[in-house]
Structure 1
Amino acid sequence: MNNNDTNTGAIADDSFPDRAKAEEIAANVERFVREVIMPYEHDFRRDHHDCPTDELTLELRQKARQAGVLTPHIFPDGGHLSQRGTALVLIKSGLSPLGPLACNTAAPDEGNMYLLGKMGSPMIQERFLTPIVEGKKRSAFFMTEPADEGGAGSDPSMMITRCHKEGNEWVINGRKAFITGAEGAGVGIIMAKAEEGACMFLTDLPNPAIRIDQVPRTIDSSMPGGHATVTIKDLRVPDEQMLGAAGDGFRYAQVRLAPARLSHCMRWLGACIRANEIASDYANRRMAFGKPLVDHEGVGFMLAENLIDLQQCHLMIDWCAAVLDRGEKGGTESSMAKVAVSEALMRIADRCVQVMGGNGLTEHTIVEQVFREIRAFRVYDGPTEVHKWSLAKKIKRDWKQNNA
């Protein structure tokens, strides 16, 4: 029997063409986040769900613009750092929960910029992409639908939002749920199903045809606008604002999917690096039973395990980024990275809370927030179980092919 080739044994080499540039940008981002953004972590400008307000976001982005680190992975000429280079930068932006917002490397904008930069027409890029890259508008990606209505979630083929063409316009009707940042966004990317298949549209927001029904309280609180449930009723979109052609929606979603999964891993790795710094500092300063906490094996070993998990996350992200940089789709590899990294980060965040005891449960540091955010990360962009199921199906397909 032949072994199937999924590149799972490869470790990316230590060099890539834009490494020096990426390292320079990453160093500038880290300095900015540590010196300018971290002092804002207790800023009172939060909405009723404890998410940063747009006022705070715009102020932070102005600081980033002045420091030359706004959207640092995308260049003025439209060029983009490699995925491996992007990883170096986004990890540093994630050192604070506010860092990705300030530097304009946060979800869903980062994934939306990648998609529109790759697939958008010149008109779409000028009208919709440019203000996102410039940090002047936030964007939202409307795909997930209410589960209690039988809509699409991890299975996008269940999409019930419909669209049909009337003259030079498309008319869209449906419901969407958990739409990150919809409240306050200026650009919307909407997925709907036509007779030809799934379609993807760009629209300005707010729009009277898109009603925000509720913004439920969720365990995470790092993203402006929360995760809204919306109703779309008779939304009319000009034909030129369709991304690609009718029926291309799922294929275009795949362009966004793997890099977006990986950029989540990058940002939250940065957050866990910071949480581990805080927990390590606490363990070295706090005395108990006659010696520093770190000298107690039960504590010291947890921090040692954190170092191991952090390094494994670095390697997994770099490996998957190298696959994408080779021009491969990276679906399998990004599923593996998403599972491995999100589960490892959960272990790290949990240990940090445990090491700090009662102090790890308070708002005095970002450790408790990082724990909440990572718990949410294990669900969004595909729960761990869905990715494992997808990988198991691949194992079966490969076995059948190799034993035919």
Structure 2
Amino acid sequence: MDFEFSPRTRDLREQLLNFMAEHVYPNEERMYAEIDQGGDRWQTIPTLERLKTLARDQGLWNLFLPESELGAGLTNLEYAPLAEIMGRSHFAAEIFNCSAPDTGNMEVLVRYGTPEHKEKWLTPLLNGEIRSAFSMTEPAVASSDATNIQTEIRRDGDEYVINGHKWWSSGAGDPRCRILIVMGKSDPDNPDRHRQQSMVLVPLPHPGVTIVRHLPVFGFDDAPHGHMEVRFDNVRVPASNILLGEGRGFEIAQGRLGPGRIHHCMRIIGVAERALERACRRLESREAFGGPIANQSIWSERIAESRIALDQARLLTLHAAWKMDTVGNKEARMEIAEIKVAAPHAAIKVIDWAIQAFGAGGVADHVMANAYAYARTVRIVDGPDEVHRNQMARLELRKYRNADPARTGGEGKVYLA
């Protein structure tokens, strides 16, 4: 395996770094301020919209979408370093039209949508004209096991009728959100628990869809994006709005979440890298007890441990991206599960130490506070740690069931002196 940047990635990486330095970092505080202006936090951010136009004009647009002519044509491995750069700012991914859940939803529409779906929703999403949301998690059941979901998708003639209660529908608070991908049960009695679910497209606004409230993350409302609680009351959509066919929802979810986990992990590494850089600059500029704080041995140890943790997480993530590109998402599921656990754990540790380096200022800083909230949330989104650890254990145990222990000395005997 070779993790050397491709020429295309090197060029795009340099362009991204320049764009971030020239346009994104200098405008972060302005964008935070614009969210609070006018008394309505659930409106578009003018500076962000201006930067989106600029990014698109410079060709820094839709950099994801492997194996598709609609994006930049990058592999997962080529895109991963770019996602890390975008992770360094709370606003950056959307500026380049590479933010969740739109990336995952666009991938779903590319892979599983009909020509009509693509014309109606994929094209405006790729153009950055609308936003989207993904409704899977439910408050009444443990949604980490997707077979638990209870939202009903019932066929009625030429329509599907949807009834259910969802939450953490990220993106549904955005005034530009025009499409929900909803997962529910269309065949609850199917003996195959993984064939009971379907996914259906629900356009917004819709008279049967009620946005109940936004759900804060450590007190952040993430406006104007938001994570919303949503009710579906006799929501009728054309039968043609089904994705791939009845009973294919679990299959689609697995296909959607693989690349999304790579994106989350590389973004969170970027978040933590920026936190480490800011901490190091702070430690060298502040004095306590007769010298720079950076000279204290405890901080030397923390800086070194931070570098080890982030480099380990990055290499694991690049390896997972390489496997996805070479053998496919299904064969790379062990590696994907590994990074989904390892990357946020590394980031949380590094960001926590960075906050400590800033002292009281660290808990009031926009960048640090958002970084910590995001890193902790990534331990839950797209499957909690526990689910990924269970999958890794099953895959690890499976390797030895039919293997010859004589080849490895792994026969499991206990040798007593």
- The equivalent position to 2:180 in structure 1, one of 184, 188, 198, is 188
Asked whether 1:104 is paired with 2:103, we answer no
Q: CA offsets per residue over residues 300-332 of structure 1, 9 Å max, x none?
A: 221121111121121011000001101422222
Question: What does residue 218 of structure 1 align with?
Answer: 217
Structure 1 residue 63 displacement after superposition: 3.2
Instruction: Give the match's secondary structure for 1:45.
Output: helix
Q: CA offsets per residue over residues 330-364 of structure 1, 9 Å max, x none?
A: 2221111110111111111111111222221222x
Matches within 5 A, 1:126-205: 126-146=119-139, 149=140, 151-184=141-174, 185-195=177-187, 197-205=196-204
| Matched-pair contact (CA < 8 Å) for 1:346–1:374 | yes
Q: 1:33 to 1:53 in 2, by over 3 A?
A: farther
One-letter amino acid of the structure 1 residue matched with residue 197 of structure 2: A
Distance of 2:401 and 2:3 partners within structure 1: 36
Q: 1:65 to 1:232 in 2, by over 3 A?
A: same
- The equivalent position to 2:21 in structure 1, one of 28, 31, 34, is 34
Q: 1:136 to 1:202 in 2, by over 3 A?
A: same
Question: What does residue 45 of structure 1 align with?
Answer: 34
Question: What does residue 206 of structure 1 align with?
Answer: 205
| Matched-pair contact (CA < 8 Å) for 2:216–2:222 | no
Structure 1 residue 280 displacement after superposition: 0.9
Q: 1:142 to 1:366 in 2, by over 3 A?
A: same
One-letter amino acid of the structure 2 residue matched with residue 265 of structure 1: C
Matches within 5 A, 1:368-387: 368-387=369-388
Question: What does residue 2 of structure 2 align with?
Answer: 13
Q: CA offsets per residue over residues 120-178 of structure 1, 9 Å max, x none?
A: 222212211111111111110110011xx2x3510111110011112221111111011
- The equivalent position to 1:83 in structure 2, one of 76, 87, 90, is 76
One-letter amino acid of the structure 1 residue matched with residue 64 of structure 2: H
Structure 1 residue 223 displacement after superposition: 6.2
Q: 1:177 to 1:47 in 2, by over 3 A?
A: farther
Instruction: Give the match's secondary structure for 1:183.
Output: coil
Q: CA offsets per residue over residues 9-66 of structure 1, 9 Å max, x none?
A: xxx32347xx211221122122212221112322312269997842344344223223
Distance of 2:2 and 2:223 partners within structure 1: 34
| Matched-pair contact (CA < 8 Å) for 1:221–1:373 | no
Point out the structure with max Rg over C-alpha.
Answer: 2
Q: 1:55 to 1:357 in 2, by over 3 A?
A: closer
Question: What does residue 58 of structure 1 align with?
Answer: 49
The alignment's TM-score, normalised by the length of structure 2, stands at: 0.86
One-letter amino acid of the structure 2 residue matched with residue 46 of structure 1: I
The alignment's TM-score, normalised by the length of structure 1, stands at: 0.89
Q: 1:390 to 1:72 in 2, by over 3 A?
A: closer
- The equivalent position to 1:340 in structure 2, one of 333, 339, 342, is 342
Distance of 1:192 and 1:87 partners within structure 2: 31
One-letter amino acid of the structure 1 residue matched with residue 210 of structure 2: R
Asked whether 1:94 is paired with 2:84, we answer no
One-letter amino acid of the structure 2 residue matched with residue 134 of structure 1: N
Instruction: Give the match's secondary structure for 1:186.
Output: strand
Question: What does residue 263 of structure 2 align with?
Answer: 263
Structure 1 residue 216 displacement after superposition: 2.1
Instruction: Give the match's secondary structure for 2:274.
Output: helix
Question: What does residue 410 of structure 2 align with?
Answer: none
- Structure possessing the higher relative contact order (Cα contacts under 8 Å, 6 or more residues apart): 1
One-letter amino acid of the structure 1 residue matched with residue 354 of structure 2: C
Distance of 1:101 and 1:316 partners within structure 2: 25
Matches within 5 A, 1:344-359: 344-359=346-361
- The equivalent position to 2:111 in structure 1, one of 109, 113, 118, is 118
Distance of 1:100 and 1:246 partners within structure 2: 33
Instruction: Give the match's secondary structure for 1:135.
Output: coil
One-letter amino acid of the structure 2 residue matched with residue 191 of structure 1: M
| Matched-pair contact (CA < 8 Å) for 2:171–2:225 | yes
Instruction: Give the match's secondary structure for 1:54.
Output: coil
| Matched-pair contact (CA < 8 Å) for 2:181–2:199 | yes
Instruction: Give the match's secondary structure for 1:336.
Output: helix
- How much identity, in percent, do the aligned residues show? 31
Unpaired stretches in structure 2, ≥5 consecutive residues: 191-195, 406-417
Q: CA offsets per residue over residues 347-394 of structure 1, 9 Å max, x none?
A: 11111111222221222x512321121111112112212211222233
Question: What does residue 280 of structure 1 align with?
Answer: 280
